[in-house]
Amino acid sequence: MKKSVLIVFTVFALGVLFFSSCNDDATAPKLYWYNSAGDIVPTGDTTILLYTKYDDPGVYVEDNSSSASGITVVNDLLDILSFTDDGYVRRAGDFVVTYNATDEAGNAAPYLRNIGVKNIAEPFVKSYATTRNTLHLPETTYNSSVTADTRIPGRLRFPKVYAHDWDEQKTYFRVNADLYDPENLSKNFSETIGYMGTVADKETPFFANMTYETGTDSILSFTMLRIDAQEYTDTANAHTVYIQGVTDQTTDYPLSRIEYLANSKTITRIVLELNVTKNGVVDRVTEIYIPND
């Protein structure tokens, strides 16, 4: 009889010890980042191109008491990044994805992965000293910060085109210009990717399988900017303005261009060749953008 009591007491004591050890676990799991090659790296931060597919390389976790299979990891990637039905990331920006790792004792810890989604036109984003010449206005100079569109890859935005005083008010126009390579890429515009499609498929970006570094390096071989017709209305004065890039009459290739230092990928200047039509009167405009840095 004493032996039986001893066995019961021993089992009870082990159970108390186990329960106590679980309750004493107040340490959250540790999370480590994998890179695309499957190596553990210090940070999960990464930069990808707009309109490419983001493949999460995954994470490695460990805990002081739970096995890896007992740790739950969830993230809010699908809530943070915006994807097309085909899986392409469709909005540029800097995003923070949160990973939460929880062990069997309920201890949890958040880990953050910064994901930069950049337009392939990023190498042209900078401040420029701008000189404007027209048929009807005096020459003028000013600074302009060129940006990249957050939705259309290969699209640059020039925020101060045709800047001048008009009816005693400062006025200017934000003009879209699309990087263009008619010899190698699509000549047809896509509502989602501009002129970044392939000859075979205007809806598939030529850089779909490129890294950020490879893609942005490749774009520095582009020399043409296509500026399709854009319409503006000055509601205060009821003026209608059309701005369109000038094209070669023989080839229909745009005359707006990017110029580089000889045999290099160093941008020396961007030249916009435009027709600006105000109330039926056409002004021929040349704007030259020289990088400030």
- Please give the chain's pLDDT, 293 residues, in tens: 444 433 333 333 334 434 444 557 889 999 999 998 899 999 999 999 999 999 999 999 999 888 888 899 999 999 999 999 999 999 999 999 999 999 999 999 999 999 999 999 999 999 999 999 999 889 999 999 999 999 999 999 999 999 888 777 788 899 999 999 999 999 999 999 999 999 999 999 999 999 999 999 999 999 999 999 999 986 556 678 999 999 999 999 999 999 999 989 999 999 999 999 988 899 999 999 999 98
- pLDDT tens column, 70-100: 899 999 999 999 999 999 999 999 999 999 9
> Does a structural domain hold residue 12?
no
Specify the amino acid at residue 240.
T
Residue 175 and residue 102 share a domain: no
Last residue of a domain, one of 118, 137, 155: 118
Q: How many domains does the chain have?
A: 2
Side-chain-side CA neighbours of residue 222 (13 Å): 29
> Does a structural domain hold residue 166?
yes
Residue 176 and residue 101 share a domain: no
Query: Whole-model pTM?
Result: 0.87
Cβ-based neighbour number of residue 157 at 10 Å: 19
Burial of 165 (0-12, 13-18, 19+ CB in 10 A): exposed
Residue 195 and residue 93 share a domain: no
Q: Are 160 and 142 in contact (CB under 8 A)?
A: yes
The domain containing residue 228 runs over which residues?
A: 122-291
CATH number, domain containing residue 86: 2.60.40.10
Residue 282 and residue 170 share a domain: yes
As a whole number of angstroms, the distance between CA 234 and CA 230 comes to: 13
Residue 197 and residue 262 share a domain: yes
Last residue of a domain, one of 76, 99, 118: 118
> Does a structural domain hold residue 14?
no
As a whole number of angstroms, the distance between CA 53 and CA 47 comes to: 12
